[in-house]
Amino acid sequence: MLQKNKSKSKGFSFIEVMISLLLMSLILFGVNAAHLLALNEAKTAYYFLLASKQAKMLADNLAKANASEWPALAALFNRNINQMLPNGHMIIPHLEQKQLIITWGMQGMGQNIHDDIGKSGSLIFNLSKLL
């Protein structure tokens, strides 16, 4: 009986390795994109938290102060917001209505011009509920 020499190669072919590397790179690209999105969302949440805390502190200070001190307090908090938030601004359109608008990022007149995650936003507070 003659034995045929069948040489079976053990291991992976070059094509199999390349396909597996392609799949791994696509998976890692997706993980990286998800990570960047999570970081941007965390930054957005942080900015909203800062704006909310500043509005609450302003409302507390306005409740303790008399009406003649309100413009000075508003100017102080506007400086604080400008330092804490990128391009941060606080707008009080009508102090009698007790409405407060805090904006940051690329804003125009309280409305988003370019709303990239983590880069711009605005909050409108009704101070009468906080006072």
Provide the pLDDT for residue 60: 87
pLDDT tens over the chain, length 131 residues = 555 555 566 788 999 999 999 999 999 999 999 999 999 889 888 988 998 898 888 888 888 888 788 888 888 988 988 888 888 888 877 666 778 888 888 654 444 444 445 568 888 888 776 55
Give me the pLDDT at residue 9, please: 66
Give pLDDT, residue 71: 83
Sign of CA dihedral 88, 37, 53, 113: positive
Map residue 128 onto helix, strand or coil: helix
- Predicted local distance difference test score (pLDDT) of residue 38: 94
Domain map (residue ranges) of the chain: 47-130
| Angle made by CA atoms 125, 126, 131, in degrees to the nearest 5 | 115
pLDDT at 109: 44
Write down the pLDDT at residue 4: 59
For position 121, what pLDDT does the model report? 83
